[in-house]
């Protein structure tokens, strides 16, 4: 069983695209969509609760896909996959796009607080 002691997965950019697409597709599988919807409902758009409810479900869905590509089936495997994808984002616009789509599946859209004088800031004019 030499494969059991194989080093962690090292994917080419093309392979990373394939895996990213499979992970994104896994999120749209009916059973996973239901799991994510339930987690989002429990989180109620609260960032702390998103980390508590949504992130673990998203991690499990990713683990199911990436384990077939040599990543460990735990949080560390997901982190290694994320780091690998991040390393390709600057070189490959398609990977950057797929990565953004994946993040959008489990991270809420971030709204920036308003800035400047029109925002009604409390900075006193002197």
Print the domain residue range for 46.
13-106
In a domain, 124, yes or no: no
Of all residues in the chain, what percent carry a pLDDT higher than 90? 62
Domain total in the chain: 1
Tell me whether residue 118 is in a domain: no
Please identify which residue in the block is written with the tokens 């683990």: 63
How many Cβ atoms are within 10 Å of 20's Cβ, its own excluded? Answer: 24
List, for residues 88-105, the tens digit of each pLDDT value: 999 999 999 999 999 888
Q: For residue 36, what are the CA distances in angstroms to 16, 45, 55, 59, 76?
A: 23, 13, 9, 11, 21
Assigned domain for 7 exists: no
In a domain, 44, yes or no: yes
For Cα atoms 46, 47, 53, give the angle at the middle one, nearest 5 degrees: 85
b/e string for 93-103 if b means 16 or more Cβ within 10 A? eebeebbeebe
More confident residue, 58 or 106: 58
Residue that wins the pLDDT comparison between 114 and 49: 49
37 domain-assigned: yes
User: Is position 115 within any domain?
Assistant: no
Is the residue at 87 inside a domain?
yes
Query: What is the rounded average pLDDT for all residues in the chain?
Result: 83
- Which pLDDT band, with edges at 50, 70 and 90, does 113 fall under? low
| Residue 68 placed within a domain | yes
Q: Express each pLDDT in 32-64 by its tens digit.
A: 999 999 999 998 888 888 889 999 999 999 999
Query: pLDDT at position 6, please?
Result: 38
């Amino acid at each position: 069983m030499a494969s059991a002691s194989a080093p962690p997965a090292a994917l080419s950019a093309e392979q990373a695209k394939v895996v990213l697409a499979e992970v994104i597709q896994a999120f749209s599988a009916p059973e996973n969509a239901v799991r994510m919807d339930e987690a989002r409902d429990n989180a109620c758009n609260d960032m702390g609760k998103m980390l508590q409810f949504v992130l673990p479900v998203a991690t499990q869905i990713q683990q199911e896909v990436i384990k077939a590509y040599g990543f460990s089936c735990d949080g560390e495997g997901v982190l290694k996959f994320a780091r690998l994808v991040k390393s390709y984002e600057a070189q490959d616009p398609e990977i950057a796009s797929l990565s953004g789509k994946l993040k959008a599946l489990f991270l809420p859209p971030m709204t920036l607080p308003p800035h400047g004088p029109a925002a009604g800031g409390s900075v006193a004019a002197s």
